[in-house]
Amino acid sequence: MVDALYATPERTSGETPRLVTDIDVWFDLDPEPRLAIAFDGSVLASNRAAQDALSRGVLATDYGGVLRFGSPESDGAFMQGLRAISSGRSGRHRMILRGRDGAWLAAAVYGVAGQQRAILALRSEERPPADALSALADAFHLTRAEAGVLCALTDGKCPKAVANDMNISEHTVRAHLRSIYAKLGVRGLTGALRRSCNLLF
């Protein structure tokens, strides 16, 4: 069976997606985990590498067959990517997710032309501490400044020390914190740090 896969980054209006054919061959032979996913998140098919990841507990499925990762934030980011594909806003959606074993995974969801499914491509991703800012920003939709504040607080610094390190006022740090709390859906610093630590560690 010859299929077609959108392989462009997020599309802009008027841009024609580049298509890759012979997906089934690519899917089966790829040494990295590949899964065919319905738009509700359930797994339709997987290649050998993905089956191995499922058997090792790097990935899991719930009772409904929906793919699950290592944190609620990763599960949410994955479903957000599927929604972007199913709505037609994007031909490809990339993200960094946590596996159930705590390891980072670089993930890309591709829309399949003319079908109600997507292809999820995964690979292991080493994320050094310097990438913690990007991880926080990606997972929680934070600005770089907000991610910097949250990362520093997660490392155990107080707001005054964060202000000194970032060369901003303590008032600005607290303004960033209010925005962080709203985006993370928490009431205070304890909840924000818990969610940050769950993602980073």
State pLDDT tens for residues 150-161: 888 776 678 888
If pLDDT is split at 50, 70 and 90, which confidence band does 68 have?
Answer: very high
Residue 147 is predicted with a pLDDT of 86
Task: Tell the burial category of 20 from Cβ atoms under 10 Å away from its Cβ (0-12, 13-18, 19+).
Answer: middle
pLDDT in tens, 101-152: 877 787 888 887 777 888 888 887 655 445 667 777 777 888 888 988 888 8
Distance CA 110, CA 131 (A): 24
What whole-number distance in Å separates Cα of residue 107 and Cα of residue 77?
10
The CA radius of gyration of the chain, in Å to the nearest whole number, is 19
Q: How confident is the model at residue 177 (pLDDT cuts 50, 70, 90)?
A: very high
pLDDT in tens, 18-31: 333 344 545 566 67
pLDDT of residue 150: 86
Give yes or no for residue 48 having a pLDDT over 90.
no
pLDDT band at 12 (very low <50, low <70, confident <90, very high): very low
pLDDT at 29: 64
**Cβ of 49: how many Cβ atoms within 10 Å?**
16
pLDDT digit string (tens) for 70-93? 888 788 888 888 888 888 776 777
Helix axes 189-200, 144-154, angle to 10 degrees: 90
Residues of the chain with CATH 1.10.10.10: 129-200
Within 10 A of 145 (CB to CB), how many other CB atoms are there? 17
pLDDT at 77: 80
Q: What is the pLDDT of residue 99?
A: 83
Q: Is pLDDT of 33 > 70?
A: yes
Residues of the chain with CATH 3.30.450.20: 4-124
Give domain 4-124's CATH superfamily.
Answer: PAS domain (3.30.450.20)
DSSP code per residue over 45-114: EE-HHHHHHHHTTSSEE-TT-BEE-SSHHHHHHHHHHHHHHHTTS-SEEEEEEE-TTS-EEEEEEEEBTT
* Residue 42 DSSP class: B
The distance from CA 29 to its chain's CA centroid, rounded to whole angstroms, is 24
The 8 Å CB, 24+ separation contacts for 183-189 are 183/140, 183/141, 183/142, 183/146, 184/140, 189/153
> In this predicted model, which residue has the larger pLDDT, 9 or 28?
28
pLDDT at 17 over 50: no
Q: Quick one: average pLDDT of 160-173?
A: 89
Task: Please state which CATH class domain 129-200 belongs to.
Answer: mainly alpha
- Please give the Cα distance from 79 to 85 (Å, whole number): 10
Task: Give this prediction's pTM.
Answer: 0.54
